[in-house]
Amino acid sequence: MPSLARVLAGAYALVVLTGGCTSSSHQIGKSSATSGAVAPKRYVCHYTTTPVAIDGRLDDHAWNAAAWTDRFVDIEGSARPRPRFETRAKLAWDDEYLYIAAALEEPHIWATLTEHDQIVFRDNDFEVFIDPNGDTCEYYEVEVNAFNTIFDLFLVRTYNAGGPALHGWDLKGLRTAVHIDGTLNQPSDVDTGWSVELALPWAALAEAAGTPAPPQAGATWRMNFSRVEWQHRVFDGRYQKLPDTKEDNWVWSPQGKINMHLPERWGDVEFAR
């Protein structure tokens, strides 16, 4: 597989030709405030001396010591109804990995997609967005469903700015696991929920971070976390998405509009030792 630098060569040429990325982190924050966007959430991510066992179960020492994020809200903010089911996340880090965990309340756990880089948000899923230096360019997206199927992609810049999104890019060394508290794809019972663990190697994130990775204590990266939830029905003993309905988008830091690809409106994650 070619290096990220080689994969991005043509994409970077396109960015240069069409103006590139000009916003700094501070400029982005000011533009968000004046545009009426909701103030971004903030989370302090603490260093752990005990690596996380990536098994989907959130019982490691690092998770016991980490705070939960606020409960996820609708992507548009408080003007929209509160999500039907609770979603929260936790973060930790060490010298090798950024660890992310999520707990998703769900009475009916289902999934259909099983192949890497299928469009996972067509199922219910959990999503991670990371823009290390906050310039709205060169950012990462990772999606995972209840089958632990992964869709990872790299965006040279936002879709509004012309992209492109590189679906063929893989986050090298990514480790993920899902734990089901219930039964997957079994409509005859009621489930409790599912949990997700991800370990993202700093070595892979560093390739286009534009800032030290692993970060220095006190550094802040821009991130957001999203949950896509589809309404369903049971037909012939199987789950089916309701036809002609749109998905719900529930997020940690609300965007103010239905568009996850506004990195200037994501939350701030501060790294602490």
Mean pLDDT of 85-91: 98
Residue 131 pLDDT exceeds 90: yes
Alpha helices by DSSP H, 24-182: 25-34, 61-65
Domains in the chain with CATH codes: 4-272 (2.60.40.1190)
Tokens, residue 261:
């690809």
Q: Is 28 left (phi over 0), alpha (psi -120 to 50) or beta?
A: alpha
Residue linked to tokens 């973060």: 91
User: Within a 10 A sphere around the Cβ of 68, how many other Cβ atoms?
Assistant: 13
Tokens, residue 14:
């396109």
Q: How far apart are CA 166 and CA 21, in angstroms?
A: 17
pLDDT in tens, 6-36: 556 555 544 443 445 644 333 333 334 334 5
Instruction: Count CA atoms within 13 Å of residue 167 on its CB side.
Output: 6
Closest-CA residue to 127 (of 155, 107, 108, 162): 155
Q: What value does the CA radius of gyration of the chain take, rounded to a whole number of Å? A: 18
Q: How far is CA 214 from the centre of its chain?
A: 18
Q: Is 90 left (phi over 0), alpha (psi -120 to 50) or beta?
A: beta
β-bridge partners, 88: 103
Closest-CA residue to 90 (of 43, 142, 56, 147): 43
Instruction: Give every CB contact of residue 208 below 8 A, 6+ residues apart in sequence.
Output: 4, 8, 138, 154
Query: Which tops the pLDDT comparison, 15 or 188?
Result: 188
Query: Which tops the pLDDT comparison, 24 or 273?
Result: 273
Q: Provide the pLDDT for residue 5.
A: 60
- pLDDT grade, residue 38 (50/70/90)? confident
The pTM of the whole model exceeds 0.85? yes
Q: How far apart are CA 120 and CA 149, in angstroms?
A: 7
Query: Letter for the amino acid at 97?
Result: Y
Tokens, residue 249:
């988008």
pLDDT in tens, 155-177: 999 999 999 999 999 999 999 99
User: Within a 10 A sphere around the Cβ of 90, how many other Cβ atoms?
Assistant: 22
Q: How far apart are CA 212 and CA 195, in angstroms?
A: 29
Tokens, residue 177:
């696991």
